[in-house]
Amino acid sequence: MHCWLNVEQSGGQERPDKAALRRILRQERENQKKNSILTNLPWGPEHIARLSEFFEARLSASPLGIPQWPSPWFGYFPIGSELNLLGHGPMEGCYLPQAQSDGSLLWYPWTSSIESWPKDSRSLPIPPEETLLRNFNPNQNAPWMVITPCLAVDLSGTRLGYGGGFYDRFLCLNKEFVLSVACVPSQLLLDDHALPKEQHDEPVDIIVTESRVVVLAKKKMEKILLQLLKIDRG
C-alpha cells in the first residue's frame, strides 16, 4: 500500500491530509481484521511472538547470553481493529498507558482482571487511581520497550497515530532510554517516507509485522541492549 507524499510523486494526485489518511487506513485495518477472522487467523499474537523471538535471539547471541528481554515492556489496551498484543507475551512485566488531560501518559501494571474494569467513552479501561504509577519513567538503569499504537507506519519510521500526540510527547522526553516499536499488519507497513511527517513527529525505532522485524535505529538498540546486559549481569 502506498500513500503519496506530494503531487509530483503521485503523478498529479494530491496526497490526502492526515484526517483523510486516518479514515482510509482505519478502514484498511478493519478490512484486514475481518479477513483474519474469516480465515481463522489470530489478530496480534504473531506480532508479539516475532518481537519476543527477535529480542531473545539478539540477547542470547551476546557474550553474556541473556535469554530474554530483562526489563519491563509497555503496550496498550486494544480497541476497535487494533492488534491485540495482550496475553501473548511475558505479561508479568507489562504496563499500559492512561492519557492525562495535560497531554502526558501515566502507566499502570497489566492485570488479568482488567476486562472487568469500567470503561471510558473510547472503551478503554479506567484503572483504579492507586494503580497509576507517578514519577515512573525510563532511565539508564531501567530502559523501556514501548509498543506504540498506530494506524500505519512507513519504512522511515513515521507512524500515523490518532492525532492526540501523547506518544510523540512521551518519546521526545524519554527517547534516550526507550526503544519504540510499531506493530502493524504487513499491509500497513508503507513505503519509505509515504506518510506525512511533521516537526513534532517522533519516528519509531523498530517495526514488527507478522512476518519480519525491521530495525531502524540499530546503534540506539545496541546501546540499550548493552545497558540491559550490564543490569542483568549485576
Domain ranges for the chain: 39-233
Read off the pLDDT of residues 103-149 as tens digits, 9 standing for 90 and up: 999 999 999 899 899 999 999 999 999 999 999 999 888 899 999 99
Residue 226 CA to residue 61 CA, distance in Å, equals: 12
Which CATH superfamily hosts domain 39-233? NagB/RpiA/CoA transferase-like (3.40.50.10420)
Write out the H or E segment, with its range, that includes residue 20: helix 18-38
Read off the pLDDT of residues 59-105 as tens digits, 9 standing for 90 and up: 777 666 666 676 778 999 999 999 999 877 667 789 999 999 999 99
Q: Residue 148, class by beta-carbon neighbours within 10 Å (0-12 exposed, 13-18 middle, 19+ buried)?
A: buried
Query: Residues with Cβ < 8 Å from 37, sequence gap 6 or more?
Result: 43
E-strand spans in 92-177? 94-99, 105-109, 144-147, 152-154, 159-160
Alpha helix (H) ranges present in 191-234? 218-233
Q: Quote the cell numbers at residue 53.
A: 523471538
Residue 60 CA to residue 27 CA, distance in Å, equals: 39
Please tell me whether the overall predicted TM-score, pTM, comes out greater than 0.85 for this model. yes
